[in-house]
A = this chain, B = another copy of it.
Amino acid sequence: MNYQEILEDIHQEILHRLPAGKVATYIPQLASISPQKFGMAVQTVDGELFHVGDALENFSIQSISKVYTLALGFTFEGDKIWSRVGLEPSGSTFNSLVQLEYEQGIPRNPFINAGALVVSDILVSHLKEPQVSFLEYVRQRANNASIHDDPQVARSERQAGFRNAAMANFLKSFSNLTNEVEEVLEFYCFHCSLSMSCVDLAKGFLFFANKGHCPWTNQKVLTPSQTKRVNALMLTCGTYDAAGDFAFNVGLPGKSGVGGGIVGVIPNRLTVAVWSPGLNEKGNSAAGQYALELFTTKTGVSIF
């Protein structure tokens, strides 16, 4: 299949639709990004890389980082992790406290904010220098030693993040945080602040399409069984309360972030990363989701 040509077709179709959706405005660093940006990259398990548009430009990966924290936490804890966080779709918005109260402090899944805070807590417990170690983990997965966090984004996030602070304290009240609330929030804001490009993400998610094997370091990062399970979670929970819509229209395991990035995984074949900062009403990149729909239609690939 001529992926480069397909990406270019999509690029053309998307361009005259931009700007689409609304850029996130709750922190200045996101609010200032041009809604005209669009990039897309494909990395195949056979080692080929394709990209168009702004695919080499860094953006704030935000919640996409939660797939990495889950993968790392899963490595440390194995299936014990599921005693502290569920694996069911939440049916509510990503930052709801309602369900957490009814379910006694066990977040529905590791991708809603509450669940990601629990996973952050697990990493803080396991890692001596959580920020250093986590950054190194991501760099290795993406084969790019220059990936870095954005301290200004983390700081803004922490200052605006009263709802996350509410959630962390709420989790603590249910004894589902073992470290200090502040420490967990700080690490959470750190991992959400990572700056990466579409190419970084396509490369950096390849091990999810490759039975857990990371080709760049030649490491078995996850077992094939764990890999399948993380992919299943991305499908059922990766795009918050739009997971059904995403499965219905795109048909791939995927994870989105409020910075406008989305990464999709086609097991045993490829990863596809897209970026466009304007968000639809569900908080997913508007142009990005449409580009992925076009991609699955044009290539005929889908898991369904």
**Total count of chain A residues near the partner, CB < 8 A:** 48
User: Which stretch from A50-58, A61-69, A89-97 is at the chain B interface?
Assistant: A89-97
Q: Which of B91, B172, B181, B229 contacts A89 (CB 8 A)?
A: B91
A87 in the interface (beta carbon within 8 A): yes
Tell whether, in the assembled complex, residue B173 and residue A166 are in contact, meaning their CB atoms are under 8 Å apart. yes
A256 in the interface (beta carbon within 8 A): no
Report Cα–Cα, A96/B248, bound state, in Å.
23
Per-residue interface assignment for chain A, residues 231 to 255, with 1 indicating a CB less than 8 Å from any chain B CB and 0 otherwise? 1110111000111110110010100
Chain B residue nearest to A247 (CB atoms) is: B232
A102 to nearest B CB, angstroms? 7
A275 in the interface (beta carbon within 8 A): no
Report Cα–Cα, A99/B89, bound state, in Å.
14
Report Cα–Cα, A248/B110, bound state, in Å.
13
Report Cα–Cα, A247/B230, bound state, in Å.
10
Tell whether, in the assembled complex, residue B304 and residue A235 are in contact, meaning their CB atoms are under 8 Å apart. yes
Report Cα–Cα, A162/B163, bound state, in Å.
14
Report Cα–Cα, A32/B138, bound state, in Å.
51
A108 in the interface (beta carbon within 8 A): yes
- Among A101, A102, A237, max chain B CB count under 10 A is at A101
Tell whether, in the assembled complex, residue A251 and residue B228 are in contact, meaning their CB atoms are under 8 Å apart. yes
A183 to nearest B CB, angstroms? 14
Across-interface contacts of A108 in B (CB, < 8 A):
91
Q: Which of B99, B172, B302 contacts A162 (CB 8 A)?
A: B172
Tell whether, in the assembled complex, residue A232 and residue B253 are in contact, meaning their CB atoms are under 8 Å apart. no
Report Cα–Cα, A108/B241, bound state, in Å.
11
A sample of 12 cross-chain residue pairs with beta-carbon separation below 8 angstroms, ordered by A number, consists of A88-B243, A89-B91, A89-B243, A98-B101, A162-B181, A166-B169, A166-B172, A227-B304, A233-B244, A233-B248, A236-B247, A253-B304
- Top 8 nearest A-B pairs (CB, nearest first) are A91-B91, A162-B173, A88-B244, A89-B89, A166-B169, A166-B170, A231-B304, A165-B169
